[in-house]
Amino acid sequence: MKIKRIVPLHVGQFMYARIETDSGLVGIGEAGTWGHLQAAGAAIQRFAEYLEGKPAFDIEHHWNVMHRFSYFQGLAINAAISAIDIALWDIKGQALGVPIYELLGGAVRKKARIYGHVYESSIEKILVECQAKMDAGFNAFGHLNPFLDEGNDQVWFKTHIKKMRDAIDNVHRIREVVGDRVDLLIELHRRLTPPEAVTFTNAIEDTHPMFVEDPIRPEGPDAMARVADKINVPIATGERFATIYEFQALLARNAVEFARVDLCLCGGITGGRKVAAMAEAHHVQIVPHNPLSPIGLAACLQLAAAVPNFAIQEYATGFEAGIFESRPEHLGSDVVDEVPRPDQGFVDIPSRPGLGMALVPDAQQRRPPLSKPISMRPHFDGFVIDQ
């Protein structure tokens, strides 16, 4: 079976690689650089020059060619590789009549635990949304930001003591509302310095969060290791990593306990299973990252079905049009033919051949192309803050 045509599809806030074969099968994969969709789309077109006419089943070979060619990489390029890789696995599963997890060694689980997003600009709204998520059957909440998801139009400044105490109090208030019914996955979104991360995390240890995610910017593995050495709450990080080697650097430094591999950035299903294997050897669990459409979710669930060290899966209930607002349904549910539905905090692993879902024919009509404007929240001193 040969690859006949590869095209990027910009659907709303999502970018896909659509691959057609000479046998008539079509595969779909998603690119994860939601801030730079056009760049990923251009890279998909560039790789099509090499892939069209090549055997569709040679996934590992193509993965290596795309990564090794001229050795120019980065998030947009690797997001394109990821989308193409996922689409090729989708084709192979369809051709052989099995879900992708059967090609990865078979299922070790039939369900995946999930966590829903909580996006809100005030602690009062967070507490209301936590109750709504519990009523909907979720038993874990993520994107739970005690520093709040306020708009980029609001100038920011707080003293150190106020910044710490407000966020610490917010976590304790959340725990009071949810009791022991829910695991809290505290999202810090890279907005703290190492000393701030240590101060804050040690002060919420008594609430027993499952982890704190991205307490500091992720580029420096030594800095992350420094933080990990001074706190007793596990760290989750890795959602913005584009290569397996960035995970290796963290694992070697004992700087991560939950690897947030993004299959739509870190090499697709091929890259994801490599990260999972490295993590398994270090007794580290994976928490696949997906603030994207159900296509990205489907890829994550196929991997989750096949690896022993899967912990929990991100289930994006919010971020419509790039807005930090909580919603009941999965982001982008209207562009696919099937979405796994939460039931008692879990979803069933899709078992149809390939990914287990497909784009609807009129996806682009339902969601015209949308790009996130470039902006950052200003600090009072004139600089910008990570948020």
- Residues across the chain: 387
Please report the sign of the dihedral spanned by the C-alpha atoms of residue 8, residue 9, residue 12, residue 14.
negative
Rounded CA gap, 72 and 360, in Å?
Answer: 34
Q: Which of 117, 189, 283, 330 is catalytic?
A: 189
Task: Let me know: does 51 contact 30? Beta carbons within 8 Å.
Answer: no
66/177 Cα distance (integer angstroms): 49
- What is the spatial distance between Cα 240 and Cα 386, in angstroms, rounded to a whole number? 14
Identify the burial level of 308 via C-beta atoms within 10 angstroms of its C-beta, where 0-12 means exposed, 13-18 middle and 19 or more buried: exposed
Q: Is 289 a catalytic residue?
A: yes
What angle do the packed helices 59-68 and 75-96 form, to 10 degrees? 170
Structure tokens at 289: 């990252």
b/e 220-234 (16+ beta carbons within 10 angstroms → b): ebebbbbbbeebebb
Alpha carbon distance 74, 71 (integer Å) = 10
DSSP assignments along 282-328, one per residue: TT-EE-----S-HHHHHHHHHHHHH-TTB--EEE--B-GGG---B-S
By 3-state DSSP, what share of the chain in percent is helix, strand and coil, each rounded to 5?
A: 40, 20, 40
**Cα 212 from Cα 70, distance rounded (Å):** 37
Return d(Cα 11, Cα 369) in angstroms, integer: 5
Q: How is 91-149 classified by DSSP, letter by letter?
A: HHHHHHTSBHHHHTT--S-SEEEEEEE---SSHHHHHHHHHHHHHTT-SEEEEE-TT--
- The CA distance from 191 to 160, in Å, is 13
Catalytic residue among 62, 117, 289, 330: 289
> 10 catalytic, yes or no?
no
User: CA-to-CA distance for 275 and 310, rounded, in angstroms?
Assistant: 11
Catalytic residues: 189, 289
